[in-house]
């Protein structure tokens, strides 16, 4: 526990007022500020619970189809760039750190640091999406986008002589891998885009002095959302990029 | 109401956050490196195991679940439990649908 945080935390919102008055941000249907904060946090965790199930369905589909069409999933997965995936994972972890520092800064009421942290988080999020865009573009060039320009040519007649070709039947199922790849990373990217829009709003409001007046619930809960999105990527990265490099024969 | 409910929620100092950041980056590097080694059936286990460790670190420290009330911990546990039902029930059906036919 940080002595600073305690000092900021125990700064009584009733200070300098009559004891029956309350801080302006305490809604009338809550008894205490702490209860209000706890309620908002509970709501956010419930929302994240539904998000676990939402992404859970996609993970489940990936797990099953990878079992069914193992050779196709291995071949398709190996067309992804591990380097770009790893860099993106690092960037997302960094953005998690800056977001946590943002939450911390709001807590100790440091507006400058809060804005710097939110700005860095925004920047890292944009870089992540940029690299994701480069990867998507590669898929487009390679004709690996289902429903747009998909071709199994790379898998039936691989350019690399060391790669064993797939039978045309099995090669068809690489499309399923790429469908799941785009569904999962696309949904993740959509969550990032929504997060970046909210970050812009948070930045604007914090520049006007919000969140550093002792009422930082919004930043706390956005932090929870941002970290959840990072956790989804933590699992997407090994599943989509890493675990298919050395197939069991 | 107990007196603890009136406390502001405690947070960790930035030093903890930096240590967690380093741990996350190191684990990710190990995970990426391990993908290049041929470890047979251990590859996916190691990859997902390290991912789980990373996720737990983020949840406990960055999402403050470690310092949160029991209600939050229970809510999160309920999410994992429901997800496990999804996975286990589906896989149970999957491995038993053609029982004896394989």
Q: Is B40 within a domain?
A: yes
Q: Is A10 within a domain?
A: no
Among A2-6, A8-12, A108-112, name the one with the lowest average pLDDT.
A2-6
Optimal mutation site among A45, A55, A240, interface B, most CBs of chain B within 10 A: A45
Closest to A95 (Cα-Cα) out of A67, A124, A71: A124
ipTM for the complex shown = 0.87
Q: Is A60 within a domain?
A: yes
pLDDT surpasses 80 at A14? no
Q: Is A103 within a domain?
A: yes
Handedness of CA A104, A106, A107, A108 (dihedral sign): positive
Q: Tell me the average confidence (pLDDT) per consecutive run of 10 residues in chain B, 102 residues long.
A: 44 87 97 92 94 96 92 94 95 85 66
Q: Is B17 within a domain?
A: yes
CA distance B24 to B60: 13
Distance to chain B for A148, nearest Cα, Å: 31
Looking at the fold, whether B61 and B72 belong to one and the same domain comes out as no
Looking at the fold, whether B79 and B97 belong to one and the same domain comes out as yes
Q: Is B7 within a domain?
A: no
Mean pLDDT of A197-207: 96
Looking at the fold, whether B40 and B61 belong to one and the same domain comes out as yes
Q: Is A6 within a domain?
A: no
CATH number at residue A182: 1.20.120.80
pLDDT surpasses 80 at A136? yes
Would you call A218 helix, strand, or coil by DSSP? helix
Quickly count: other Cβ atoms within 10 Å of residue A223's Cβ: 25
The pLDDT mean for chain A works out to 89
Mean pLDDT of A41-63: 95
| Residues in chain B closer than 8 A to A89 (CB atoms) | 28, 32
- Please give the tally of structural domains in chain B: 2
Among A18-27, A81-90, A165-174, name the one with the lowest average pLDDT.
A18-27
How much is the pLDDT for A162? 78
**Chain A contact for B5 (CB, 8 A cutoff):** yes
Distance to chain B for A241, nearest Cα, Å: 9
Cβ distance of B48 and A243 shorter than 8 Å: yes
Looking at the fold, whether B53 and B75 belong to one and the same domain comes out as no
- Please give the tally of structural domains in chain A: 1
pLDDT surpasses 80 at A6? no
Task: Compare all CA atoms of chain B with the CA of A52 and give the residue at the minimum distance.
Answer: B79
pLDDT surpasses 50 at A7? no
Query: Predicted confidence band at A20 (pLDDT cuts at 50, 70, 90)?
Result: low
pLDDT surpasses 60 at A85? yes
- With a pLDDT cut of 90, the percent of chain A lying above it is 71
- What range does the domain containing A183 cover? 36-242
Looking at the fold, whether B61 and B77 belong to one and the same domain comes out as no
Looking at the fold, whether B42 and B63 belong to one and the same domain comes out as yes
Cβ distance of A38 and B43 shorter than 8 Å: no
pLDDT surpasses 60 at A5? no
Q: Is A12 within a domain?
A: no
How much is the pLDDT for B85? 96
Angle (CA) A207 A210 A215, round 5°: 155
Mean pLDDT of A85-104: 96
- What range does the domain containing B58 cover? 12-67
Among A41-45, A102-106, A211-215, B43-47, name the one with the lowest average pLDDT.
A211-215
CA distance A214 to A117: 18
Q: Is A1 within a domain?
A: no
pLDDT surpasses 50 at A109? yes
How much is the pLDDT for A154? 87
Looking at the fold, whether B35 and B56 belong to one and the same domain comes out as yes
Residues of B (12-51) whose Cβ lies below 8 Å from A: 12-14, 17-18, 20-21, 24-25, 28-29, 31-32, 34-41, 43-44, 47-48, 50-51
Q: Is B2 within a domain?
A: no
pLDDT, one tens digit per residue, over A147-168 is 888 988 889 988 887 788 889 8
pLDDT surpasses 60 at A51? yes
Return all residues near B102 (Cβ < 8 A) that are at least 6 apart: none
């Amino acid at each position: 526990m940080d002595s600073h945080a305690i000092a900021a935390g125990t700064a009584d919102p009733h200070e300098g007022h009559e004891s029956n008055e309350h801080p302006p941000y305490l809604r009338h249907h809550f008894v205490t500020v702490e209860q209000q904060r706890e309620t908002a946090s509970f709501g956010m965790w419930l929302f994240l619970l539904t998000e676990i199930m939402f992404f859970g369905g996609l993970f489940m589909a990936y797990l099953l189809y990878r079992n069914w069409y193992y050779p196709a999933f291995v071949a398709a997965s190996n067309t992804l760039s591990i380097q770009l995936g790893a860099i993106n994972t690092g960037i997302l972890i960094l953005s998690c750190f800056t977001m946590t520092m943002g939450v911390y800064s709001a807590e100790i009421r440091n507006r400058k640091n809060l804005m710097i942290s939110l700005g860095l988080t925004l920047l890292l999020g944009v870089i992540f999406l940029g690299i994701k865009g480069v990867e998507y573009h590669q898929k487009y060039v390679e004709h690996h986008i289902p429903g747009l320009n998909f071709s199994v040519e790379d898998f039936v007649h691989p350019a690399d002589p060391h790669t064993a070709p797939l039978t045309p039947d099995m090669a068809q199922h690489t499309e399923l891998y790429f469908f799941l790849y785009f569904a999962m990373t696309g949904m993740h990217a959509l969550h990032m885009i929504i997060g970046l829009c909210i970050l812009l709003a948070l930045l604007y409001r914090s520049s006007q002095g919000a969140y550093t007046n002792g009422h930082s619930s919004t930043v706390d809960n956005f932090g929870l959302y941002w970290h959840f999105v990072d956790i989804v990527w933590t699992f997407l990265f090994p599943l989509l990029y890493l675990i298919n490099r050395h197939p069991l024969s | 109401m107990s007196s603890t409910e009136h406390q502001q929620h405690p947070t960790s100092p930035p030093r903890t956050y930096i240590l967690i950041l380093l741990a996350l980056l190191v684990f990710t590097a190990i995970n990426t490196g391990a993908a290049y080694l041929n470890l047979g059936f251990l590859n996916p286990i190691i990859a997902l195991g390290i991912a789980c460790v990373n996720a737990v670190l983020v949840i406990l420290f960055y999402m403050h679940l470690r310092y949160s009330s029991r209600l939050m911990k229970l809510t999160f546990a309920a999410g994992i439990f429901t997800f496990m039902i999804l996975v286990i029930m589906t896989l149970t059906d999957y491995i038993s649908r053609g029982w004896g036919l394989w």
